[in-house]
Amino acid sequence: MRNLDIGTLRSLQAVAEYGAVTRAAEALNMTQSALSMQMRRLEDLFGRPMLDKAGRGVVLSDFAQDLLGESRKMVALNDAILSRFTGARPDMRLRVGLTSDWLFTKVAQTVRAFRRDHPQVELVINDARSKDLRAQMKRGEHDVILTTEFDAPPGAIHLAKVDLAWFGATGGQAWSERPLPIANSPHCAYYPVGMAALDQAGIEWVQVVGEGGSDTWRVLAAADLGVTLLPRGIQQPGLEVLDHGGALPPLPPTWLNVYVAEGPARQVAADFAGYLRQVVCEVAAAA
């Protein structure tokens, strides 16, 4: 009977989170060669590859993704047993900041899965615009944040690219009006990009009158009072990707990035980032 090593499974989780052996090794305070050796041990044990190349980094193979889900349970059980019988309680609060675009069903399922595997961790979740989340993290208000940006700045863990798209009311006609009514917050990071694309295409547009958060603008769009910009793959009630037949200009992709703060909650935050990576990649693949 062969035995699984908990440390090796932690390394697998770190590679899943960071998407690069080098950065995963740094996070675990080990050398790159030591972490690579742990991946080879898993490959020898199961007779299956663990990693696939993806640009400059790596991603888990399909088999490793399946193993990752089970390994998280085992690592969590290991920690729970140690906590119970040694009296060491790793109870902590994890402060999570999510960009409003990604507060949707799959992320909720991810949070639920994380809570199931880490019952000793209290989650505090807030949403805000990406630039505000970054500023809040600099002030020490978050342990991990998920942002949408148009690049991967230093310190960011790049998860995936998802195409932006024009969204409108299901079966609506606002997209065909001229000037084009825009039901999108001017403070949204997508706004200047979308308006620049319209200006370059010579399409006249007008801002719909409204106040409030992202939900307000989506309600206005769902009421067919205007169009809005969202990443593909994010399903919103009453909204659909517009089949405009080229009447609206193409949009660039948005980058989904995670930032993990230094501090006592870093390892747990890194684990949570791994859960986010999985759901973000699912949405990106569907989009």
d(CA 255, CA 71): 28
d(CA 65, CA 17): 12
Say whether both 27 and 61 belong to one domain: yes
| Among 128, 136, 131, 129, residue whose Cα is nearest residue 153 | 131
d(CA 113, CA 18): 19
pLDDT (0 to 100) of residue 212: 58
Q: pLDDT band at residue 91, thresholds of 50, 70 and 90? A: low
H-type alpha helices, the chain: 6-18, 21-27, 32-46, 62-86, 105-117, 130-138, 190-201, 214-222, 266-286
| Among 284, 275, 265, residue whose Cα is nearest residue 107 | 275
Q: pLDDT band at residue 144, thresholds of 50, 70 and 90? A: very high
d(CA 228, CA 268): 35
Q: Which residues, including other chains, have CB under 8 Å from residue 16's CB and lie 6 or more apart?
A: 60, 64, 65, 68, 274, 277, 278
pLDDT (0 to 100) of residue 260: 92
Say whether both 57 and 164 belong to one domain: no
pLDDT of residue 88 exceeding 80, the answer is: no
| Among 287, 218, 226, residue whose Cα is nearest residue 254 | 287
Say whether both 64 and 100 belong to one domain: no
Say whether both 124 and 77 belong to one domain: no
Task: Give, in order, the Cα–Cα distances in Å from 155 to each of 132, 152, 201.
Answer: 16, 8, 35
Boundary-marking domain end, from 89, 109, 125: 89
Higher pLDDT, 185 or 17: 185
pLDDT of residue 119 exceeding 70, the answer is: yes
Residue with tokens 């958060």: 213
pLDDT (0 to 100) of residue 225: 95
pLDDT (0 to 100) of residue 222: 94
What percentage of the chain exceeds 90 in pLDDT?
A: 35
Q: What is the mean pLDDT of the chain?
A: 85
DSSP 35-89: HHHHHHHHHHHHTS--EEEETTEEEE-HHHHHHHHHHHHHHHHHHHHHHHHH---
pLDDT (0 to 100) of residue 89: 57
d(CA 42, CA 254): 34
In the chain, the number of structural domains is 2
Higher pLDDT, 203 or 123: 203
pTM over 0.85: no
**Bridge partners of 96?**
125, 144
What percentage of the chain exceeds 70 in pLDDT?
A: 92
pLDDT (0 to 100) of residue 101: 67
Find the Cα–Cα–Cα–Cα dihedral 285, 217, 250, 233, rounded to 10°: 10
CA atoms within 13 A on the CB side of 176: 7
Say whether both 162 and 193 belong to one domain: yes
Domain of residue 1 covers 1-89
Say whether both 168 and 264 belong to one domain: yes
Tell me if 285 sits within 8 A of 277, measured CB to CB. no
pLDDT (0 to 100) of residue 220: 92
CATH number, residue 116: 3.40.190.290
The highest-confidence range among 10-19, 99-108, 226-235, by mean pLDDT, is 226-235
pLDDT (0 to 100) of residue 19: 72
pLDDT (0 to 100) of residue 115: 83
pLDDT of residue 36 exceeding 80, the answer is: yes
d(CA 203, CA 94): 45
Mean pLDDT of 65-92: 77
pLDDT (0 to 100) of residue 191: 92
Q: pLDDT band at residue 69, thresholds of 50, 70 and 90? A: confident
Residue with tokens 């500023």: 135
Say whether both 127 and 264 belong to one domain: yes
| Among 145, 165, 131, residue whose Cα is nearest residue 273 | 145
Q: pLDDT band at residue 287, thresholds of 50, 70 and 90? A: low
